[in-house]
Structure 1
Amino acid sequence: MFKKALWRFVFSYLIIFVVPLLIGIGAYFNVKQIMLLSLYRYNKTALNQLKDKMENEVMGPVESLADWINLNPYYFIFLPEASEALDSNDRLLNIRNLCREISSQTYKNSYILDAFIYIDSQNLIIGPSYTTTPYNYYTYVYRPLNLNYDKWKELLNGEYQLKYIPSFKVKADYKEMQTILFANTLSRWNINGKNANVFVIIDQSKIISLMKEIISYPKGIIWILDRDNNQILQVASNKEDNISLPRLNFSIYRDFNIKELKINNEKWIVYYIVSPTYGWKYISMVPVNNFFEEIRRIRNFSLLLLGLMSIAGSILIFFFSLQNYRPLSEIKNLLQSRHTEPTQKNKSEYEVIRELVQIALTKEDELKNQILRFTPIIKNNLLFQLLTGNLTQKEIGEIELRTLGLENPNDNFIVAVLEVDDCSGFIKEETEQEYALATFVITNVLNELLVNNGIRYWEIFMSKTKISLIIETSSDEREFILKLSHIFETMIDFLEKNFAIYISVGISNIQKGIGNIKSAYEQAEKVLNLKFTKPNLKVFSFMQLHKDVIQQGEFLPKDIENRLTNSIKDAAGEKVEKILDEVLEYITNLASPHLGKMIFVYLYGLYYQILNSVPNELNEKLKPQPEEVMKLILEEKNPKKIFSCIKEDFLNLTRSVIANRQKGGNDLIGSILEFIEKEFTNPDISLSAIAEKFDITPQYLSAIFKEKTGQNLSDYILNLRMNRAKELLLSTNYSVTQIAKLIGYTEVSGFTKAFKKVEGVSPNKFREINKA
């Protein structure tokens, strides 16, 4: 082993000296192409890094802040009617709450220096920690050095659409700063006929520092252009370079572009990328001669250095080999002492060390990445396991408790289950993203109410329409539950009035320790099921309704009827068969044969109900007669035979629905297209609304529309709206806001984004180009 490792050192040193020399000679004629490729890769990586930084840390947070302020319900306090409904204290409190929310949205972002709302009719500026007049802001907060007060007022009163104003010089705390001013007009904040504006002051110096880190070549230059090709920033490694940006035809269909230009008798390589999300351009220019001059110097120096080192190194190779072998052996022994698995004896020290180090580093990186990625999922999963009883208190250790943030697992807890009954008035389509938005609204309102009342809780997302809460309490049971019920009632009323989201809440009794959380969850679930028998209630407390829970029983799983009906309407034969098999398993586990026969009767009743409610091609011979059905159920002693007849009847009905759909599909799609042509300007038109109109499921509507027309329903409606919008833009003088409302958009921002996605330009730009 000793000789093998020693001679490996010797040969390694020889290869180190000989191989680079041979490679250098071979690469001599290819060095330009190699370095161009390196330059290309570097610039691509650097520009993508700059784009990602700008979008994730500057534009994304800034424009999200503007959207959040535009949708913030606090604008109502500035309306004329609010002055009659609110006294001065209430109005002041609401303004302070708005300031606090703006502060919470901005303080985490190091690029944002300040953000404020200007309300012209009130002559008022509202920021994260102040409410003041334009004059005071101009004088004492952030004073624009390039504008006098009149120009400042004119700037505040302008109309903007995601406008970035570069080189906006301000003075604050006796210090001058170069900033970028973001301005956007709030479409919802229409007060006394004038829309309010939101302004965000961005620290330009930090963006410049970021750009300077990316420029590593002498005379390198970087530009940033906005979506309208206006120059936002230019940074050069050499301040004396004053080169204007050359005219480029930007392509948005390639993720990275490279061009070679000649400027002032000097060759330059130009790289640029275009953001598909924001339309901003990031451009880098590097002088070719300057770049290769440095390469030539490095190459010649490297060859000279390699020759000198070859001469001197040949003498010292054996000496260094002996010296290096000793620490190598010590490192190997140290690593092996920490690794319990035996290694093969025929492996050299290099192989053993490399294998052990790779194992250690891989496990460390995997562990770190998994912890960071899965911490929220693990936390939700642990809480879910606690609720469902799959994780007991004995199985929870200190790591789990730290992950969940449970300092004292023996405290008293209450479980509340929130179920969304209807949010169709808030979401436009029943997608995961829309339900996530509804969940976001619910959890934010819930967090505000519970935190303001000093209540500590944990959220568990059970499904897209159900959220469970584990609530910690140490107060009197009855008083705390009554207080909690009042909080939930306040939340429900607020969501119904402001967002058209309707939810029901079930509240358990107080349970001692996390080991009893399962019992609390079961209490909350059971009492929540009473909403079908007590429709006038919105909050169901186990403390008040426990007698009703004890009295109710379960005839069949509550979702069987809906699942079976929807599966037949969707003509899903496999699903129908699977659901009926679940019913058979349920019947075989019953202790009472009489209850089983009642379920058979119920299934046939459901069969006739579905038969009369869905279009089908079932002839009279295949329809079961009620007299024969009752005779079969009452006289037949083998339940499997009865069930076999029921199953065949349901499957025959499903097949007849399929036959009817194939026959009437063309007529149906014609009626649907005619309806859409008449109603596409209605803001409430949607997949679910059309399905309800024609008494079919949204899933079937989506499938048949795609099959018959070759495109999605949403794309079809979008094309109708965009074609109508182009007609109005070219044939009328209506504003973009008026046209948006005429074609079915409630928000002009949604119309503008959709139009730009389809046509590639904004509505105003489209009108300007085509009219010109």
Structure 2
Amino acid sequence: MRKGKNREIYIRFLLNALPILIIPLFLLFSAYFRNQKLFKQEIYDKNISILENSALMGESMMASVESIVNYLDESSSVNKFLNFYSLNEDGTNTNEVILLQKDINSLITANDAIDNIQIFSKNNKMLLDGTQVVINLNRYYDYTFSITGIDYDHWYHEMLMGIHNWNNRLQTLETTDKSITKQMFFFSSDIPANSGIYSSGCVFILLGQDKLFRYFDRLEYQKDGFVYLQDGDGNILCEDNRTGVENIYLQAEETSENSGFITKKIGGNDLFLTYYKDKNNWLYVCAVPRKLVMSAVQDTWGYFLFMLVFALGIGILLVHYFTTRLSAPITKIYDLLKTGKSAVSYDEFDEEIERLIQKNEQMQDELEKQIPALKTSIFHTLATGGYHTREEIGENLQKIQIAADSPLYLIIIVSLNDLDTGNNLEKIAAQKIYLKKIMEETFLTTQIYDLDFERIALLLESSCQEKQEAKQQCEQNLAYVKEKMENNSGISISFHGDAITDIGRIPSGFKHIRTLLDNEYESFKGIIQWYDEKNLVRKIREQETYDIKQRIRKHIEENYADPQLSLISVADSFGISEVYLSRLFKQSFEQNFSKYVEELRMNKAKELIEMDMYTVSDISGIVGYNSPQTFRRAYKRYFGCTPRER
């Protein structure tokens, strides 16, 4: 009989313990699916990094092209080539052409992305590139150079003699140069720039698409994937499509963010697509087969199944072991209750256990009633400096359930202001109870004690390593307490506090706060007044820093027209180092010194230009530039146009 009862107790424990096996199942499945998600994120981060680098290289390539066009636009050799009408007999023009061709070769050599540069003169109908000077254009086109789909007449009238505005400066064309056919980015510009029908000629810069695709080699799209580049107007600039499907392009609603990834079925295959938009709103897209992305995760499936079986086996053994151990004391209690009786039913057994538990709870309640008085006594002794050693303080902190090894402790004194003791004292006591309840709910602590009729103390542990961080968190909670208390009860409350890193200094913290209460800071305006003996020195230093920042700003605004104004000269004027001035400038004005001065000068220059009373040369001197040429370049860089194009 006893053996049967013991087995029944064991089975009851076992049935209650079996649900624990769900935990390892849940954890393993969660780990597997999280592994899938993390791997997708890793692939996305990798692809985005490659696309960002490709975008940067693309932007760098276009910046180089713009720089070359600006260089050629200002080149005297180009100007001479565009404006003579034929090669003269004395060879002067011929020498100029040879020198210009050498310059073009140097530009092509220095820029790896550029395949060729062509300059055409509308006056002498000559075309010059890195290898030859073309006089007979009709023999040059088709025999040496051609563009797929464009005949000679269109090339001559629309491209050489046409106007090259911002809308068609960059085109994607297939060219054949010396029997070599390549996909090219075709960049064109009038010379002089933006001169339209009045231009003397034009320049064409040919960029090989293959040199841009080499930046995508690490994307692993080559097997059943694709990459493509699309400009801000939706034109496909280049693509490498390995899917065999024509319609591979993402819709605008699919790329609403600046970057992201989606899974999409294209041509019957699931593809993992990553996209990125650069600052010019160009869209870079790459697609990799999803099976390739997830292959590494699929390889872990066998390992996952092994771990699942292993976890279940170990779980069953552990459940059996602990069920046996845990049921043993209950079995012994059952045997004790059964002593002297022929049989004890399980209902009687449960009732007896319930009586024992109730009796134990009654004893616990009696004990807990004594705890508040003990905790209050310990707290008051701590606040009045009754404990003198760190060991004594730590031992008593543990008695009131405060850890002795916290990195930081916060002491807060809450003062109820302007209490009228002639009013109903029971009402005031009820309001204090309400205040304690709000603070308990807000700070999730019971370490709140009455100091006297008007003050409540709060002792908090903090896991923060820095005082400032702990204070900020505390202030947010105190602001909530103050707002709720004043709105619901109409009683004004104020807070004073100190942050302590050493338990041995907790009594000193209470002393510091009493000092604050006796000597209120006149400048105190925050939610709480913290004890800070360095506060006055810090405020003086902040005022000094503020004063020198204002003086520096005024000095620059009064002297920006001086061409000699520089970081060194300003630092010398104020007797500070260049390094300190540079750091102070960035911290205070969120930009460096030269950008700030340039902004002042450009705004003043724009104002003078709009007045239409000064020449560009006069304005350049007025705003602090040594030469009109330097001023024009700075103006175009800042506003995107020359002073005359305003």
Q: Which has the larger radius of gyration?
A: 2
TM-score by length of 2: 0.43
- Higher relative contact order, chain-length normalized (CA < 8 Å, sep 6+): 2
